Amino acid sequence: MRRLVGVELTRLRWRRAVLLLVAGAVLLPALIGLARVWDTRPVSDTERAQIVQQSQGQINACVDRPRQYGVRKSLPADQIESRCEDVTVGWQLRDPLTLAGERSGGSGMGVVAILTALLLLAGTTFAGHDWNSGSMSNQLLFESRRGRIWTAKALAVTLSALAIAALVSTAYWLAMWATMQARDLPMVDGALTDSLAYGLRGAGFAAAAALGGYALTMLFRSTVATIGVLFAVSVAGGLVIAMLGLSEHWQPQKNVAAIVKDGTTYYVNPPDSCFIGERANAVVEDESECDGERNLSLWAGLGYYGLPLLVTVGASVVSFRRRDVP
Amino acid sequence: MTDLVIETHGLRKEFRSRRGVRVAVQDLDLAVPAGGVHGFLGPNGSGKTTTIRMLLGLAGATQGTMRLFGQPVPSLLPSVIGRIGAVVESPKFSPNFSGRQNLTLLARSIGAPSSRVDAAVETVGLTGRDGDRFKSYSLGMKQRLAIAATLLKEPDLLILDEPTNGLDPAGIREIRETIRQLGESGVTVLLSSHILAEVQQVCTSATIIGNGRMLASGRVDDLIGTSTSYRIGVADPSAAAEVLGRAGFTVSIEGGLSVDTTEPARVTETLGTAGIWLTELTPVRADLETVFLELTAGDTLGGSTEQDR
């Protein structure tokens, strides 16, 4: 089996389409990282002076009527001016880089999405090429145990995808951390570890997507058919969720977030009874019927994507072992 | 008892579609003895390739049993596949890889050393072009590469499906010689081909199938049969025909005088006694093409269709 996996890794490495996708999986996160580093660059004194100058009218208005701007009138005059400057200018300044910010709503999910999409395509095109060229039958003339061929290719795709995604994710978060260090920005304890774990969970998700793409293509025996089916499922799935009025619990992106972020929250509309009578004024307990915020755990996300993946892998293996090979 | 390298009993393959069931192979009993070159003949769509694909595990049989080297297949195919080299239909390789890259991947999958790739490339005359992409090859070069791939295993059984397709005359001769040499060296070769003259020149035995059924099988000489007809040259064919007829011979004068006999000496004697002197007495030998066309006459393309299954 080790020999076969080695052969498949070589085949994967020699495929130009796969190499292009891998290059994309490295370059696009790098570009995102560069963009984030640029967008969060520290504000220079010149920039700040310029913004203060442009906002002078607002600062003056604040000094005249501080309460309208949320500044206490009882403060000494110099402090009022300083607070007014912060209030009117602060929102125009760039937010500093934080690892937590990048994980929760920043670029983290973007990197995961790119890695997932490109590595899924890599798994798909890798298998599709074997069917398209007809070389699958030639390979079976040298190793007739179809289960071994399927497994060797799956291992090559999954391990490569995992290695690439893990490397890219780790490099991304280390680069963000290094940037913060260079800028002397304060960092919460464990922020780097949390970010690296976030990246590795994302890498695992991307590798699973690559395996899914590969398995589907081995089932449909065509890259185009696989991409078509994935597109149709994503469109139809969204429509079905909307038509059935299912909660955010069933939305694909929420479940991705649950996996990558090690759990996430989603919102539901509490029943009307929660807003009537005594319940309307009662303290709402977490996870109770009237609590609109719900938790979606890592395991729930794994179940959401893991079950279809298992079904796809099973169908793919059975189909490959039983059907005639052209 | 002769060892059989390939053996099938009651082999059947059906393809199901909305239009019904098409039977590609039915009740095929194939027996290929060890050693020598065995021809596998049949018109297009007669089931040759389907049979080969079933033997190699690429397609499942609907019914029947198959054995390779005495082992039941497909169940024990993995135990014998290492002894079998095969080219099925057109050569199928990754088009963007070079010929050498394609061979290297296949060689590595069976743990063959890279020196065997060099040897195979040299044997089929691809040295110098092995670094080019497969998609840039001519059909003949693709065929050579496919044959090179079969040689990577140093096989005991070689299954070649139309191996000379697309080759130039020199290439055909080279491949024919290679096949003949392999057969003489103890490798069993199953050669599926439409070029009947080629089969007749190279093969020691042959099986002819039509409509998925076996029509004839045996040694090529036996299939052709011993000659029983002689073409006769005389000054007066009508007189000679009358003399031979009176002597009890079956005579034909259409397209020249000929006589069916296993005793050509009696023909000479009979005509000489009557004062008719022979200028020619030539045995008319049937060829494989004649036998093939007689056996496959009326075959429809692509096997039979059973609608009501």
The model's pLDDT over B16-31, given as tens digits with 9 standing for 90+, comes to 888 888 888 888 888 8
In B, which residues are within 8 Å of A11 by CB distance? 94, 105
Domain identity same for A202 and A225: yes
Please indicate, yes or no, if residue A280 is contained in any of the structural domains. yes
Shortest CB distance from A137 goes to which of B92, B101, B110? B92
**Mean of the pLDDT values across residues B177-194?**
84
Say if residue A15 is in the same domain as residue A84: no
Look at residue A274 and tell me whether its pLDDT is greater than 90: no
Domain limit, last residue, from A42, A73, A90: A90
pLDDT, tens only, B30-59: 888 888 889 898 887 888 899 999 999 999
Residue A212: domain span: 2-25+96-322
Nearest neighbour of B86 by CB, restricted to A15, A133, A141: A141
| 8 Å CB contact of A7 and B96 | no
Same-domain pairing of A113 and A195: yes
A263 compared with A285, residue with greater pLDDT: A263
Residues A237-244 have a mean pLDDT of 84
Is the pLDDT at B130 greater than 60, yes or no?
A: yes
Residue A49 lies in a domain: no
Q: Are residues A18 and A129 in the same domain?
A: yes
Confidence of residue A51 (pLDDT cuts 50, 70, 90): confident
pLDDT value of residue B307: 43
Residue A129, chain B, CB below 8 Å: the answer is yes
- Site from A130, A138, A148 to mutate, B interface, most B CB atoms within 10 angstroms: A138
Q: Are residues A131 and A66 in the same domain?
A: no
CA distance A198 to A94: 25
Same domain, A182 and A159: yes
Query: Do A75 and A197 reside in the same domain of the chain?
Result: no
- Structure tokens, A90: 């602060």
Question: Would you tell me the crossing angle of helices A146-182 and A16-39 to the nearest 10 degrees?
Answer: 20
Cβ of A10 and B95 within 8 Å?
A: no
Which residue in B56, B93, B109 is closest to A143 by CB distance? B109
Do A73 and A141 reside in the same domain of the chain? no
Per-residue DSSP letter, A15: -
B149 vs A249, more confident: B149
What one-character-per-residue DSSP string does B87-129 give? E-SS----TTSBHHHHHHHHHHHTT--HHHHHHHHHHTT-TTT
The residue among A42, A67, A90 that closes a domain is A90
Closest by CA to B22, choosing from B302, B298, B209, B297, is B302
Task: Determine the angle formed by the axes of helices A298-322 and A252-260, rounding to 10 degrees.
Answer: 110
Mean local confidence (pLDDT), A258-271: 86
Dist CA A82 CA A93 (whole Å) = 15
Query: For residue A287, what pLDDT is reported?
Result: 67
Interface test with A, best of B105, B110, B147, B153 (most A CBs within 10 A): B105
For residues B284-304, average pLDDT: 63
What average pLDDT does chain B have?
A: 84
Is B95's CB within 8 Å of A133's CB? yes
Q: Is the pLDDT of residue B213 over 70?
A: yes
Looking at chain A, the whole-number percentage of residues with pLDDT higher than 70 is 97
| pLDDT tens digit sequence for A138-173 | 889 998 899 999 999 999 999 999 999 999 999 999
Q: What is the dihedral of CA A177, A182, A185, A188, to 10 degrees?
A: 30
Q: Find the helix or strand (DSSP H, E) in which B305 lies.
A: strand B304-306
CB count, 10 Å around CB of B309? Answer: 9
pLDDT for res A56: 81
Whether residues A151 and A76 fall in one domain: no
Which residues of chain B neighbour A325 with C-beta distances below 8 Å? Answer: 58-59
Structural domain contains residue A169: yes
Chain A, chain B: beta-carbon pairs less than 8 Å apart: 72
Q: What is the pLDDT at residue B286?
A: 66
pLDDT at B298: 59
Give the end-to-end CA distance of chain B in Å, rounded to a whole number.
40
In-domain check, residue A44: no
Å between A3 CA and nearest CA of chain B:
6
Peptide bond into B74 cis (omega under 30): yes
Asked which of A103-117, A232-246, B67-81, B286-300 is least confident by mean pLDDT, the reply is B286-300
Q: In the 8-state DSSP scheme, what is residue A12?
A: H
* CA distance linking residue B243 with residue A65, whole number of Å: 142
Does B78 sit within 8 Å of A145, measured CB to CB?
A: yes
Q: How many domains are contained in chain A?
A: 2
Say what the pLDDT of residue B1 is. 47
Which residues contact residue A265 at a Cβ distance below 8 angstroms, ignoring those fewer than 6 apart? A293, A294, A295, A296
Q: Enumerate the residues of chain B whose CB falls inside 8 A of the CB of residue A10.
A: 104-105, 108
A296 lies in the same domain as A223: yes
Count of CB atoms within 10 A of residue B191's CB? 25
pLDDT at B289 over 90: no
In three-state secondary structure terms, B232 is strand
CB-based contact B106 A16, cutoff 8 Å: no
Contact (Cβ atoms closer than 8 angstroms) between residue B152 and residue B103:
yes
- Which of B56, B94, B102 minimises the CB distance to A129? B94
Q: B305 pLDDT exceeds 60?
A: no
Same domain, A162 and A13: yes
Distance CA B6, CA A125 (A): 37
Range ranked top by mean pLDDT from A96-100, A208-212, B159-163, B236-240: A208-212
Q: Is residue A285 part of a domain?
A: yes
Give the residue on A whose Cα is nearest the Cα of B75: A145
Chain B nearest-CA distance from A236, in A, is 28
Q: Is residue B208 within 8 Å of residue B42, measured between CB atoms? A: yes
B85: which chain A residues are within 8 Å (Cβ-Cβ)?
A: 141
Rounded mean pLDDT, A248-254: 85
Residue A215 maps to a domain:
yes
The answer as to whether A216 is a domain residue is yes
| Domain final residue, candidates A67, A90, A113 | A90
What is the per-residue pLDDT for B299?
A: 57
Q: What integer is the mean pLDDT of A21-25?
A: 95
Give yes or no for residue A53 having a pLDDT over 90: no
B260 φψ region: left (φ > 0), alpha (ψ -120 to 50), beta (else): beta
- Pair A212, A85 in one domain: no
pLDDT score, position A177: 93
In this structure, are residues A33 and A175 in contact, taking their beta carbons and an 8 Å threshold?
Answer: yes
Look at residue A3 and tell me whether its pLDDT is greater than 70.
Answer: yes
Domain assignment present for residue A48? The answer is no
Q: How does pLDDT run across A178-201, given as a tens digit for each residue?
A: 999 898 888 888 889 999 999 999
